[in-house]
Chains A and B, each alone.
Chain A
Amino acid sequence: MSWTARPLTDVDYYDLDGILAEQQCLPATFQVHIPGMGYLDGTEENEDILEGTKIPLPVWLIDTLNTDHEMLVETDLPKALTEAVLRHLRASASKVNLQALCPYYFMVAEKLQHMAEGTLPITTGDTIAQAFQDRLKAVLDHTQTRLEEHTSEFVQGLDMVERDILKRGQDASLQVKRWAMRTPARIRRAPALGMGDADVYGRPARGGRQG
């Protein structure tokens, strides 16, 4: 695999999700001898990085190490983009647990495709784009419900971008419901007092007391 850097645009630089996504590590093999950086492999034994050592490096570091002039590291495809995973995505995209594979799956995939500069097979990119679309239907369906992150299996399988979409959809629906109930303008007993208040939809609390 040959990787070269792509120019950072201003928008991407400050994107928090992008920063977190680029924190993903890939196994990298150094092509040159680098003195004094031996501590990168986590142990105290070597003072320098010898040619051919394999160290897991974050994507942003690989990006900057491989400029147009020279390639300092060679990397392999991460586990998340192997043919096995792609086949699984092609078969049933919504059943794949992307959170376990890589929490920022789509952003990392996008970044790696840019870094690879067209050397990846066409099917990789297409499969991932199609998988996003297929999973999107399930995500948008669930925006009408109120799924909790820790309890729902469905949400646990989503990657961070999909969770963001889900949350925004849920918030928007909730806002409309609250507006329909005129909840902001109604005077209710504060939930901290008493046996529990009517919830935001105006349903009475258990125990029968109306807010």
Chain B
Amino acid sequence: MALPVQLQSALSPAEAEFLAENERIQIEPLVRLPVLGLIETEFGPFVPPRSVSVPLWLAIVLKKRGLCLIKPPRWLTAESLQDLVQAERTQDQFTPLPFHYMEVAKMLLEAHVAGDDLPDAGTCQTLLQDLREARRSKARQGVEIMDQSHIRVDHLAQMELNELRPPFTMSFSMMKRLQAAANLARPGGLTGTTAVGTGSGASGNRGGGMPSSSGTAAYGGSGLSY
């Protein structure tokens, strides 16, 4: 299928946001609602003030109609974000964050109304920016330790993974090809019996463009031909 280049090896940010909308979140209904019978599952009944766990998309729909209050996740407060930024700046590794933290934070901050459930929305916004910057600069340093077949990075979030996928897959693909070509000069290289490298030239395997659901990213040299 002829996909535009940006979509060939990664999701678009909008798609990533869509996937994140399935995350569960606690809401406090303001109005009594009956059971919502949807295709896959049902939600409800909603009895105020009992809080209930629903997917994020439903929470936002209800919130926009004034039917509920969203209880922000524990990490989305000014103090915990402050701690996270601190930890991010001091540690070498990435701090463990929810996989969809960027999308969830963005959607909650957008659905937020002044004086409502999210106490310090403005500070949260800036702290999130800081967090993103700290992680981005760490990702840049990670390139130094890349070796030719894989790099292991833990606790990368969905959006960050997506951003890194296109250049990284192409780089690894090329590195593999060059290494395979270099190995031809080694004894046994012509018959492909060397231990390094798994194929000759550019193999046509489409390594999956779909995201893994865990936060650990092992970028294999997937031979994604560009």
**Chain A interface residues toward B at CB < 8 A:** 9-12, 15, 17, 106, 109-110, 113-114, 116-122, 124-126, 128-129, 132-133, 136-137, 139-141, 143-144, 161, 164-166, 168-169, 171-173, 175-176, 178-180, 182, 184
Contact = CB atoms under 8 A, between A and B. Distances in A.
Interface residues of B, number: 43
Contact of B201 (A114, A124, A143): A114
Contact of B165 (A109, A122, A132, A172): A172
B225 interface: yes
A125 B204 contact: no
Contacts of A122: 182, 185-186
Given A172-B164, A176-B163, 18 more contacts: A11-B204, A15-B202, A15-B225, A116-B184, A117-B190, A119-B185, A121-B185, A129-B179, A132-B175, A132-B178, A140-B167, A140-B171, A164-B226, A168-B6, A168-B170, A172-B163, A172-B166, A182-B110
Contacts of A117: 184, 190
Nearest to B168: A140
B100 to A, nearest CB: 13
9 nearest A-B pairs in the assembled complex, by CB-CB distance: A125-B182, A179-B13, A169-B167, A168-B166, A113-B181, A11-B204, A129-B178, A110-B181, A122-B185
B36 to A, nearest CB: 26
Given A161-B174, A164-B170, A172-B10, A129 B182 contact: yes
Contact of B178 (A10, A125, A144): A125
Contacts of A124: 182, 185
A106 B185 contact: no
- State the main secondary structure of chain A at its contact with B: helix
Residue with the highest number of chain A CB atoms closer than 10 Å, among B146, B163, B181, B190: B181
Contacts of B204: 9-11
B185 A11 contact: no
B162 interface: yes
Interface stretch (B27-35, B41-49, B136-144): B136-144
B203 A171 contact: no
A180 to B, nearest CB: 7
Contacts of B136: 144
B14 interface: yes
Contact of B17 (A121, A136, A179): A179
Query: Interface centre among B159, B174, B178, B183, by most A CB within 10 Å?
Result: B178
A11 B143 contact: no
A144 B162 CA distance: 14
